[in-house]
Amino acid sequence: MSVLSSLKKAFKSDGSQNFPNDLESLWMPFSANKHFKKNPRIISRAKGMYYYTPSGDQILDGVAGLWCCNAGHSRKPIVEAIKRQAEELDFAPAFNMGHPKSFQLSSKLSQMAPKGFNHVFFGNSGSEAVESALKIALSYWREKGQESKKILIGRNRGYHGTNFGGVSVGGIEKNRAQFNKFLPEVYHLSDTHNLDKNAYSKGQPNWGDELTNELNVMIEKHGSENIAAVIVEPVAGSTGVLIPPKNYLNKLKKICSDNKILLIFDEVITGFGRLGKSFASEYFNITPDLICLAKGINSGTVPMGAVLVQDEIYNAFMDKEEKMIDLFHGYTYSAHPLACAASLAALKLYEDEGLFERANKLSNYWEDAIHSLKGLRNVIDIRNLGLIGAVELEPIKGKPTKRAYNVLCEAFFNQKTLLRVTGDIVALSPPLIIEKSQIDQLVENLKITLQQTE
């Protein structure tokens, strides 16, 4: 009997069960396809803090889906807004046409954003937000008559999605190795992750701000007149939760400002309450020039990405004679009506339930809870900020990433918990509606998982 048919047999067939007919046809992204298909982890329903498998197992969501469902799952106001929108206006062309909610949403996001970000450019994902921000940065300098400013600077272990621009400025070698050409003239700062100096830091580490000097060195070498922008995640998420050292981001900002280099914050993960504020820019009190958003923008319900744009940048394009096209960039689904409706409903829900403030208030409890895992076998670091946490594991010799992957499987099947793993790091980022008792449960489930995983 095939794995699939034996699994199907094991599930109750009461109509609510919907186990798929075929696993082979789907090529799963960023996945161990062959391993998964031998013993699939299927989730078919979600509500609040939980996912449910086709057989009805309740899975505690420790990662807000994939860092995105900040309001929890299948929340009624968002679901209703999407339904209403689908009935009223299913799609509207975005080029030279508008629909009301795209303007309402951009106004709303501008109100939430730090001062000066009065313009929004929409795409459909974090990768597209990054791609759009990089293009806006490069074309801004052309508009200003400074065409030599073409160099982009990213950071090692940065993740900026999977498009060619984002992978170029991103700092993950493996994401480049399978492919050929990338953007030329891209350099990378060092990452700030250093276990000798920063292990078990609670909140922002004390060591590492001096690494910003590398930017000064790059400027000296390449000339600020040739550098367009620096892009960083305020807190790097996808490469294992790397918390910025104290003063690091301020210093980066100052060097950029002093040298007329744009600073792009990729807030695809840190936006919408993850750190207890609307944006990390607000949390750290640092104003970049462009901010990339996605995920929590509509609590992960409909694909959407966005770039918040400072007035100075937008005006560089608009304070000129009228053109037929101001920016040669955009997407069929930019500001899709369903995504906009979902976002307006999600932002209202965040406000109505005070979810960002809730995350802020829970962050100390969260910190204590996850640091209680110190001392468990294979644990070599624990770190946290806001409602983000990570537990780093000693890799199995010769098999990097395998231990964390085993933890993911063990947690799902035996502790009914959804985790995210990256490298040998377990990343945690629960929906902002999490209760203290559920934090305790999550940490207990992870503890048992770690005790039971080789």
Q: For residues 70 and 48, give the distance between their C-alpha atoms in angstroms, rounded to a whole number.
A: 10
* Binding of ligand PLP by 126 (CB under 6 A): yes
* Binding of ligand PLP by 209 (CB under 6 A): no
* Binding of ligand PLP by 237 (CB under 6 A): yes
**Of the candidates 125, 287, 417, 441, which one interacts with ligand PLP according to CB under 6 A?**
125
Least spacing, CB of residue 331 vs ligand PLP, in Å: 12
* Binding of ligand PLP by 421 (CB under 6 A): no
Angle between helices 436-452 and 355-371 (to 10 degrees): 30
* Nearer of residues 69 and 269 to ligand PLP, judged by Cβ: 269
* Binding of ligand PLP by 159 (CB under 6 A): yes
Structure tokens at 262: 């744009």
* Binding of ligand PLP by 297 (CB under 6 A): no
* Binding of ligand PLP by 139 (CB under 6 A): no
Candidates 17-25, 182-190, 233-241, 444-452 — which segment interacts with ligand PLP by CB under 6 A?
A: 233-241
Residue of 151, 385, 163, 189 lying closest to 292 (CA atoms): 163
CA-based max dimension of the chain: 70
CB 233 within 8 A of CB 278: no
Site for ligand PLP in 262-281 (CB under 6 A): 266, 268-269
CB atoms within 10 A of CB 157: 21
* Binding of ligand PLP by 229 (CB under 6 A): no
CB 69 within 8 A of CB 430: no
**Of the candidates 70, 85, 106, 127, which one interacts with ligand PLP according to CB under 6 A?**
127
Q: What 3-state class would DSSP assign to 409?
A: helix
Instruction: HSE, CB side, 13 Å, CA atoms: give it for residue 71.
Output: 26
Enumerate the H helices of 113-243 as residue ranges: 126-143, 164-169, 173-177, 195-198, 213-222
* Nearer of residues 335 and 369 to ligand PLP, judged by Cβ: 335
Structure tokens at 119: 């313009």
Least spacing, CB of residue 125 vs ligand PLP, in Å: 3
Candidates 74-82, 90-98, 159-167, 216-224 — which segment interacts with ligand PLP by CB under 6 A?
A: 159-167
- Provide the binding-site residues for ligand PLP, judged by CB under 6 A: 125-127, 130, 159-161, 233, 237-238, 266, 268-269, 294
